[in-house]
Amino acid sequence: PPVSAGLRWPRRRWPVPYRRFDYRPKTDPYCQARYTFCPTGSAIPVMKEEDVIEVYRLQAPVWEFKYGDLLGHLKIMHDAVGFKSSLTGKNYTMEWYELFQLGNCTFPHLRPGMNAPFWCNQGAACFYEGIDDAHWKANGTLVLVTTISGSMFNEMAQWVKYDNETGIYYETWTVQASPDKKSTVWFDSYECSKFILRTYQKLADLGAVFKKIQTNYTSIILFSGEPIYLGNETSIFGPQGNKTLAAAIRDFYNPFKPHHSVREFFVDLFKIIDRVILNHQFYLFYNLEYWFLPMKSPYLKVIYEEVPLPVGSKASFGV
């Protein structure tokens, strides 16, 4: 349910559950992507029930098409899933990513004349015919993980439609209490790898049996003490809002804007270090709500950890 303006309460349910919505809002013309989202996308086909479809795990460094393996060395990877029909021989790729690139999903724009930060943030599934073998194999992974029937594929397609229409906002950060694997997770990310993990789990629940292979995924983690709920856009930036808090949030986000010179970049970088590391401050926007994170060491970490392929609950199908 929508959060009432100005509502405050101590939340003890961690992680905060990702909020789903009844529909996907229209995008604002102000939000422009450097690279077109899903340029060759197509509808998911209906497969014949007796078809046997191979399912592939696809992974490559983020922006591999532009920078090659550069981000792969930092284990910053993008995930997708591939399908091959045995009846038609056709290949397909399915992935989930940002409509307006990662920066816009992670930080807002501070637009003149607008009190509240303006977010260009949506993520969505993209399905298209073909698998770019060179892209996934050159610096990443293209490996068979299971086989499914045509009817299972069709059921998965219906689930993808629901998932795509209700899970509309990209969430970059995982936020947790410490680097310890058993530490409390305050917020979970919602990005490309989580879509692939949800897809695998759906296939497992439909009866797919996955191969026993190691699968690793990238997470970008912020480390924080227990978050403090601040409010939503109306309660903070509206006519009856908290002007001091509103100014603090805008001031925090200002150094994350795009930079036009090297000098400007380093000036703002020092501001970010001062606020996040020296003053232990971070303002998080999650589920259309603002939270204060009391940051603590090691502040930020990119991890590439194993998440096992799922085990389903139905009768088995596949390898």
Residues making up the chain, counted from first to last: 319
- The answer to whether residue 192 is catalytic is yes
Strand partners, 148: 53
CA distance 72 to 137: 13
Contact 172, 102 (CB under 8 A): yes
CA distances in angstroms from 46 to 61, 156, 191, 195, listed in the order given: 31, 11, 26, 21
Select which of 105, 120, 126, 192 is catalytic: 192
- The answer to whether residue 259 is catalytic is no
Contact 55, 146 (CB under 8 A): yes
Query: Residue 187: left (phi > 0), alpha (psi -120 to 50), or beta?
Result: beta
Of 141, 68, 56, nearest to 93 by C-alpha is 56
Select which of 38, 73, 78, 105 is catalytic: 78
Which residues have a catalytic role annotated? 78, 192
